[in-house]
């Protein structure tokens, strides 16, 4: 199956209430990675053919897995055939906080699962305006995974389809545009920026 196209279609169907989560007692909504991931999982499942050879699994915890000694990854989404390493196809990591610490965790997950036969690696950034290519390159080098092996998708806002990005188009990440379609990037001292903080 075409994992990239499936993700593009699924992201276009993620409704605003799952992209931005309203919080009781708080005026502005926030990003929550897990809420977004669960809706993305649902939309992907709706797209998959019944009886397909591969299974889509969400957050398969590798703790206690006999084939993972030392660090045991917990990927956001994987396409695989459970019970064997023969048909490990794709690993998807979803990120709305593309700082160095979170990106390193994502790339370490990719590298560990590459050793188990996974062939496709997708980093899906949502709720940000651009891709931090320089940071990605540094993290990829530190982890020992060539950046060109990772497909980067950018989902900027609900109602849009994620786009596949190529290296160097946007050098630095920004916070997402303000809720309800604000186009101006948020400034460091903006009270709105504090309202739109990312919560994983």
> Could you tell me the domains of the chain?
3-199 (3.40.91)
> In terms of pLDDT, which residue wins out, 140 or 22?
140
pLDDT band per the 50, 70, 90 thresholds, residue 94: very high
Residue 193 pLDDT: 38
By CB atoms closer than 10 A (0-12, 13-18, 19+), residue 58 is middle
Please tell me which residue, 59 or 162, carries the higher pLDDT value: 162
Q: 119: closest CA among 154, 80, 147? A: 80
What pLDDT is attached to residue 186?
38
Given pLDDT bands bounded at 50, 70 and 90, which one contains residue 198?
very low
CA torsion angle for 113, 118, 119, 124 (degrees, to 10)?
-60
In this prediction, residue 19 carries a pLDDT of: 96
pLDDT above 70: residue 169: no
Does residue 145 or residue 73 have the better pLDDT? 145
Write down the mean pLDDT value for the chain.
Answer: 81
**pLDDT value of position 29:** 86
Residues 20, 26, 28, CA angle at the centre, nearest 5°?
A: 40
| Amino acid 184: pLDDT | 36
Residue with tokens 């994983």: 200
Is the pLDDT assigned to residue 148 strictly greater than 90?
yes
> Residue range 139-147: average pLDDT?
97
Bridging pattern class, strands 198-199 and 150-155 = unpaired
**Cβ-based neighbours of 139, under 8 Å, separated by 6 or more:** 100, 103, 104, 107
DSSP per-residue letters across 48-113: SPTT-SSEEEES---TT-TT--SS----SEEEE-TT-STT--EEEEEES--SHHHHHHHHHHHHHH
If pLDDT is split at 50, 70 and 90, which confidence band does 197 have? Answer: very low
DSSP 56-71: EEES---TT-TT--SS
Residue 104 has pLDDT above 90, yes or no: yes
Kindly give the pairing relationship between strand 90-95 and strand 120-126.
Answer: parallel
User: Which DSSP helix (H) or strand (E) runs through 85?
Assistant: none
Query: pTM (2 decimals)?
Result: 0.78
Handedness of CA 82, 150, 102, 189 (dihedral sign): negative
């Amino acid at each position: 199956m075409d994992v990239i196209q499936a993700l593009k279609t699924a992201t276009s169907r993620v409704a605003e209430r799952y992209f931005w989560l309203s919080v009781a007692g708080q005026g502005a909504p926030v990003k929550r990675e897990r809420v977004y991931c669960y809706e993305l999982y649902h939309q992907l499942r709706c797209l998959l053919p019944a009886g397909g050879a591969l299974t889509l699994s969400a957050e398969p915890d590798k703790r206690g897995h006999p084939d993972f000694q030392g660090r045991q990854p917990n990927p956001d989404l994987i396409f695989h055939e459970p019970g064997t390493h023969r048909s490990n196809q794709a690993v998807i990591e979803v990120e709305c906080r593309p700082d160095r610490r979170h990106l390193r965790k994502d790339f370490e997950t990719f590298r560990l699962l590459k050793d188990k036969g996974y062939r496709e690696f997708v980093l899906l950034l949502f709720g940000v305006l651009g891709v931090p290519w320089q940071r990605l390159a540094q993290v990829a080098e530190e982890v020992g995974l060539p950046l060109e092996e990772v497909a980067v998708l950018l989902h900027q806002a609900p109602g849009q389809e994620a786009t596949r990005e190529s290296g160097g188009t946007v050098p630095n990440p920004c916070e997402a545009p303000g809720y309800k379609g604000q186009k101006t990037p948020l400034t460091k001292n903006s009270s709105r920026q504090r309202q739109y903080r990312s919560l994983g």
